[in-house]
């Protein structure tokens, strides 16, 4: 685990995302098919989540593989690495004694408080390594991907009304409105849009209780749109659906908001992860 007092992790991550947006590349929108798909740990095969998906997606655009390895993993597998590594985030909540020395009435000891602990470390893409075991690629047909996406949507139990002129979620009615399937250019666009609106749906007060009352076009509304965009991206990645950008008109506002506050992308990614887990949990329980 690397520690560098002169390194501002949040600022570096934010700058990476902003630069990508300014260059016209939305880092959470891509095809998730083939070996260059959802970023995963090359040794454990565990999928990365949250902000690391965005970081590795941006870095992975110049590689063919979606697998990433730490130095220790490469050594363990008998390989070698070369080139510049990609910094990703390690985050967890840890407990420490309350700095105000408050006493826990149940134990009589100094109370414990939780706070976020974050470090960064570097990983290397498979294409930067040699002498590693061959990557095993599981081929999933388009039919299976769409069947999976269909099940995820159905298992939420969300009320969805079709035949509308545009896609939108109405919090006061707790209803998702979508155009008919035939109105979409392709199936991938339909599922990406559905996932986006389901992202908003998770914010209802009866679910994850986010603030959904902000007016269209406001900065707060743009933040909620970013959460929904990332939720759609994470769900597209999980199901292998090609991502689609739902609201390009917000890119300028996202750039401005990110430049003003280096914590925004972390907050949005965290909320999107919760939304994704909520939707994914519904599907796994059925």
Residue 248: C-alpha distances to residues 37, 225, 258 (Å): 23, 10, 16
Written as six digits, the tokens of 183 are 């109105």
> Above 60 in pLDDT, residue 97?
yes
Q: Work out the pLDDT band at 120, boundaries 50, 70, 90.
A: confident
Q: Please give the average per-residue pLDDT across 192-204, as a whole number.
A: 95
Question: What is the Cα 245 distance to its own chain's centre?
Answer: 14
Residue 2 has pLDDT above 50, yes or no: no
The predicted structure's pLDDT at residue 3: 47
pTM higher than 0.85 for the full model? no
Whole-number average pLDDT of the chain: 86
Q: At CA 258, angle to CA 255 and CA 263, rounded to 5?
A: 165
**Alpha carbons 169 and 166: distance in angstroms, whole number:** 10
φ/ψ of 30, rounded to 5, equals -165, 175
159-175 residue pLDDT tens: 999 999 999 999 999 99
């Amino acid at each position: 685990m690397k520690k560098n007092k002169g390194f501002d992790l949040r600022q570096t991550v934010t700058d990476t995302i902003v630069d990508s947006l300014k260059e016209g590349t939305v880092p959470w929108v891509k095809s998730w098919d083939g070996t260059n798909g959802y970023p995963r740990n090359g040794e454990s095969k565990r999928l990365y989540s949250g902000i690391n998906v965005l970081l590795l997606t941006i870095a992975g655009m110049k590689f063919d593989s979606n697998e990433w390895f730490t130095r220790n993993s490469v050594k363990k597998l008998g390989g070698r690495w070369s080139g510049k590594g990609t910094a990703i985030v390690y985050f967890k909540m840890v407990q420490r004694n309350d700095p105000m020395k408050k006493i826990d009435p149940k134990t009589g000891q100094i109370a414990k408080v939780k706070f976020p602990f974050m470090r960064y470390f570097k990983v290397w893409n498979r294409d930067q390594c040699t002498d590693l075991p061959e990557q095993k690629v599981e081929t999933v047909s388009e039919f299976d991907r769409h069947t999976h996406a269909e099940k995820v949507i159905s298992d939420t139990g969300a009320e969805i009304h079709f035949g509308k002129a545009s896609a939108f979620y109405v919090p006061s009615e707790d209803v998702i409105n979508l155009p008919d399937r035939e109105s979409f250019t392709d199936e991938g666009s339909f599922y990406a849009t559905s996932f986006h609106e389901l992202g908003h749906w998770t914010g209802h007060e009866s679910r994850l209780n986010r603030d959904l009352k902000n007016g269209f076009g406001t900065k707060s509304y743009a933040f909620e749109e970013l959460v929904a965009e990332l939720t759609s991206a994470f769900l597209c990645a999980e199901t292998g659906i090609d991502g689609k950008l739902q609201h390009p008109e917000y890119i300028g506002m996202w750039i401005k908001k990110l430049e003003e506050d280096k914590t925004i992308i972390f907050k949005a990614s965290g909320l999107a992860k919760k939304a994704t887990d909520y939707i994914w949990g519904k599907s796994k329980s059925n």
